[in-house]
Structure 1
Amino acid sequence: MRKINKAHALASFCDFSHQNPGADWNIDFSRPGARGHPIYIDTRTTILIGEQDCICGYSEIPIEDERDCHIDHFRKRSMFPQDTFNWNNLIAACNHEAFGAKYKDNKSGIRQLDYANIFDPVVDAVQNYFYYNERGEIEPHPKLSDLVLRAKVQKTIEVFNLQDKSLVNRRKTIIEQIKSYTDLTQAEIFNALISAGFVSLIEQYTS
């Protein structure tokens, strides 16, 4: 997970939310055939490509096909309905059930109060708090001495299941690739692997 620098909301998105107060996200906006669905597609494209460089906002896996992701509400709509059309609450996330947005929403058991104890990638420079060891596991950064922040790292990992075995294996593979490029400069290694996602990990091992 890393900091997401949000851009200005699309004018069409703002117009829809203002002209349709009380609109249902699923029925009126994201569902194919809904009156707002074309705007939903443009919104997803803008967030995924323009703001997140085609990586999942939580797991950092690469997303090459927009159909493999959805717009997630960082703060769940059921708990924070007022943020349903809040642009800064919208993150493009992969569709995997075992980790990321869907794990957060369906399996983590997150409660409204838990949001104070996890990092928000729109607000927080998350990459400064996380560390990727050589086994591909994610953990609090070794230089992070604040116990509250360390606990926040662990809770974030738990809520999004960022220690999922498939994620760990993918990260480990990239680390091994980085180590194998003995004849390349750090900048060359970064450029060679940037399309593999996991940008925070690559930055850590090439800086």
Structure 2
Amino acid sequence: MKKLTRGDAPACLKDFQHGRHNWTDVSSEQKAEIWISLHAMQGERCAYCECDIGTRNRHIEHFIQKGRMPRETFNWANLFGSCCTKNTCGDLKDRVGTYSYSDVLKPDIDDPDEFLLFVLDGTITFREGLTSIKETRARTTLQILGLHHNNGPLRNMRCQAVKGYIQTAESFAEFSAEDPENTCGWREELEEELRRVADLPFSTAIRHMFEAFLDCRS
């Protein structure tokens, strides 16, 4: 999960009003318009786990379930693109029962980097020094969305995504140790590498791995 920037609402949402319409009234063409705006916000990645959703394995996700709060059904601020993977993300969130939605990180409002740390082995832990309230939100988010280490398949996908960049991160760590003043311009190369991975599946896990190598060896 990473911080997202929400743009303007798709125009078609103005055609719907709580109390007069249901989500089933939204046509496939209108959903396609919504997906254009979602893609501008989050790319072809699930807003929660960051897996590749492309044009398959995806659904328009209501952060606050429309069954729990119908008035949020057509609220653009309540919509994300989620994968359809079983036992994670939107699929799991809608089946876990009662919880406080305010305890789940909302990636267009909250910055997950302030709460969560992705580890080399594919697990996710909490940032050090969190207040009890923030730790509760981090813990609840991992549980409700199934992002934690108990989700073996998702953990393995994160781990595999990271492995392909370990050697590159080790090289930059060596540059950092040998040239801390950046006389050879390795920091600019690092920034360019991070830009290249920013839109990849599980990019947060990859970025946190780079940061861990540089932090511990600089």
**TM-score (normalised: structure 2):** 0.80
- For 2:69, give the aligned amino acid: F
Q: Give the superposition deviation at 1:129.
A: 1.0
Is residue 178 from structure 1 mapped to residue 165 from structure 2 by the alignment? yes
Match of 2:51 among 53, 61, 70: 61
Contact 1:129 1:153 in 2 (8 A): yes
Task: Please give the secondary structure, in 2, of the residue aligned with 1:72.
Answer: strand
Distance in 2, Cα, partners of 1:8 & 1:120: 17
Percent of aligned pairs with the same residue? 21
Q: 2:108 maps to which residue?
A: 122
Is residue 94 from structure 1 mapped to residue 80 from structure 2 by the alignment? no
Contact 2:9 2:76 in 1 (8 A): yes
Query: Which segment is superposed worse, 167-176 or 113-122?
Result: 113-122
Q: Give the superposition deviation at 1:153.
A: 0.4
Q: Give the superposition deviation at 1:61.
A: 0.9
Distance in 2, Cα, partners of 1:117 & 1:203: 25
Larger C-alpha radius of gyration, 1 or 2? 2
How many residue pairs match? The answer is: 192
Unaligned runs of 5+ in 2: 173-188, 212-218
Contact 1:137 1:168 in 2 (8 A): yes
Is residue 133 from structure 1 mapped to residue 119 from structure 2 by the alignment? yes
Distance in 2, Cα, partners of 1:6 & 1:193: 21
Deviations 1:159-200 (A, max 9, x none): 000021111111112222221224565335435544531122
Contact 1:60 1:197 in 2 (8 A): yes
Q: Give the superposition deviation at 1:82.
A: 0.5
Is residue 17 from structure 1 mapped to residue 10 from structure 2 by the alignment? no
Distance in 2, Cα, partners of 1:203 & 1:173: 14
Which ranges of 4 or more aligned residues in structure 1 deviate by more than 6 Å? Answer: none
Task: Please give the secondary structure, in 2, of the residue aligned with 1:196.
Answer: coil
Contact 2:119 2:209 in 1 (8 A): no
Contact 1:62 1:195 in 2 (8 A): no
Give the root-mean-square deviation of aligned CA atoms. 2.0
Q: 1:33 maps to which residue?
A: none
Deviations 1:2-57 (A, max 9, x none): 2221111122222x225x8521102x11xxxxxx321111102320x201021100
**TM-score (normalised: structure 1):** 0.84
Deviations 1:66-86 (A, max 9, x none): 232110000000111010000
